[in-house]
Chains A and B, each alone.
Chain A
């Protein structure tokens, strides 16, 4: 069972995420702004984070930067989801520290598949503890 945090300010997409993820065994938490997301991630230390870029208070990139500064959550895998899907915009996401990019629009099946794939891509937690 994995913990996944979504940061998304648009209500309809939040609803879509909730409906899509309700059939999975993952624990899903949603924040509707960047600062809310940061607090949630610090508290839960989730396995995976999906974040929108354009959000109030703290945008997606600022959220990633804030996470990198906090040792407890610095290694949390963050995937950017955005409707700005041009090559340059995707490149910027990776440059700013995103581990992956999920292009809008997406369907529920695609979202679930990406969540599973990204969870598999995370190195084993024990190993990281030993190394640390």
Chain B
């Protein structure tokens, strides 16, 4: 029962003044105050409660012994004094009626004596020339034996009223002496000797009873106080202690009572509740901090990503500049070189035409490079406007294939068109560009005389176009890159292939603008197939006449 308290004190720490104590308490502590404080910390609560209970019990018994017992004894004495006065009146009557007969007086005394069992005897002393002489007694045997030595007769002689207790043979005897005054002078004294045996037995019993009752009361009080302590102090404090230990270990989960519950009147319950509320507040703050940290982490990740994107963009830009520079310089070499030859050197008329044609071709190539670059830039930045109309894709495919056959005569082009008309909503010139780029790629990357196949297939509201070649193919690890600008294959077999490096990126952008897609399948060394998917026109077919 006391263990949690002791541990609690340990948790609270040394009895030095904690920083959170109000300012008023922070003043130079006297040694006594310090000692009390240390004691307060060292003594368990139960002991602190037990000590006053024990003290109260002791005080109760002491009070009984010091106040109640003497009071009872005083009452007894008063009773005997009153009895003595009564005897005094009788003695006085005897005197006045000439009754100096000691035997008669003794008989009277015996009668009185007989009424009270605790009275041992009643003596009447006659004061003879200042000295007391035993005159009459309720116990005649004493007349023979005379006065007991132990009796101090001095007070009797002076006629003083007194009472005193003497111990004789282990029995306490109360002696009450009262003077008899006749005619203004003391003539005799009445002494009543009574045993306190009965009284002592009664008070001893009573004392035992009082002590027992006090003990029983103290026990009951102690048990009650203990129960109250246990229920409303030690148990909640123990719980608080366990919660505090859990909190110290980092576990901030507490079971809070319902919010609408009124605050308890019990101080410890209130402290418990306030502590739990504090822990909940701390937990909430910690959760907030954790959320903030998580958010910071997320933002950092986002920033890192953005930074990486920027770096990628920068690298792309840098590569773009490098590639563009290289791509521009190659045709420029022909243009500059042959124009200087035409200007400065002796050439035949046939050479003039030949070199002129070379210059023209290279200039056109340069123009294509710039055109592609601008096209891609406009498409990517969303500045490209499509002139949309219903376009017959089969017609476009046939037208481009026909044009290509005249340019690349050594590559047979096979058309496999779907019986259903592939009508799409699109920009005709851009779709021509798509087919041209795919077809010229197929021809360019087929160093031999391999057949190039162009096919369309209408299915599920989509026209599917495929351009297949039996050329060099694309290594698997570069399939994803072919649609990136300037990602031309860096392979020996394709070094000689000239291009802007923008053909496929442009194809992808045009298809994207048309709501379509493009992807590639390839077996390295055995050719590639580029697939395009475009949504068909959903409206009514254009009348036959307009085709």
Contacts and interface: CB of A to CB of B under 8 A. Distances in A.
B341 A108 contact: yes
B340 A109 contact: yes
Nearest to B355: A19
Interface residues of B, number: 26
Interface stretch (B99-107, B324-332, B391-399): B324-332
A18 to B, nearest CB: 11
Contact of B495 (A9, A20, A107): A9
A13 interface: yes
A129 to B, nearest CB: 37
A107 B340 contact: yes
23 contacts: A12-B333, A12-B362, A15-B358, A16-B334, A16-B337, A19-B338, A19-B341, A19-B345, A20-B337, A23-B345, A55-B495, A56-B496, A83-B329, A83-B333, A84-B325, A86-B322, A103-B329, A105-B335, A106-B336, A106-B337, A108-B341, A109-B344, A111-B337
Contacts of B341: 16, 19-20, 108
Given A9-B495, A107-B337, 13 more contacts: A9-B496, A12-B334, A23-B345, A54-B495, A55-B495, A83-B329, A84-B325, A86-B325, A104-B329, A105-B332, A106-B333, A106-B336, A108-B337
A101 B351 CA distance: 29
B271 interface: no
B362 A108 contact: no
A89 B322 CA distance: 10
A9 B493 CA distance: 12
Interface in B73-101: none
A114 B340 CA distance: 16
Contact of B329 (A19, A55, A57, A105): A105
Nearest to B361: A12
Contacts, number: 72
A21 B341 CA distance: 11
B86 to A, nearest CB: 143
Q: Is the interface of B mostly helix, strand, loop or mixed?
A: helix
Contacts of A23: 345
A105 B327 CA distance: 11
A84 B322 contact: yes
B488 to A, nearest CB: 11
Nearest to B327: A83
Interface of B: 322, 325-327, 329-330, 332-338, 340-341, 344-345, 347, 351, 355, 358, 362, 492-493, 495-496
B334 A13 contact: yes
Nearest to B321: A86
Contacts of B327: 83
Interface in A79-129: 83-86, 89, 103-109, 111
Contacts of A85: 325, 329
A54 B490 CA distance: 10
Contacts of B326: 83-84
Contacts of A108: 337, 340-341, 344-345
A75 interface: no
B493 A105 contact: no
Residue from A9, A103, A106 with most neighbouring chain B CB atoms (10 Å): A106
B368 to A, nearest CB: 16
Given A56-B493, A108-B345, A109-B340, A10 B330 contact: yes
A9 B355 CA distance: 19
A57 B492 contact: yes
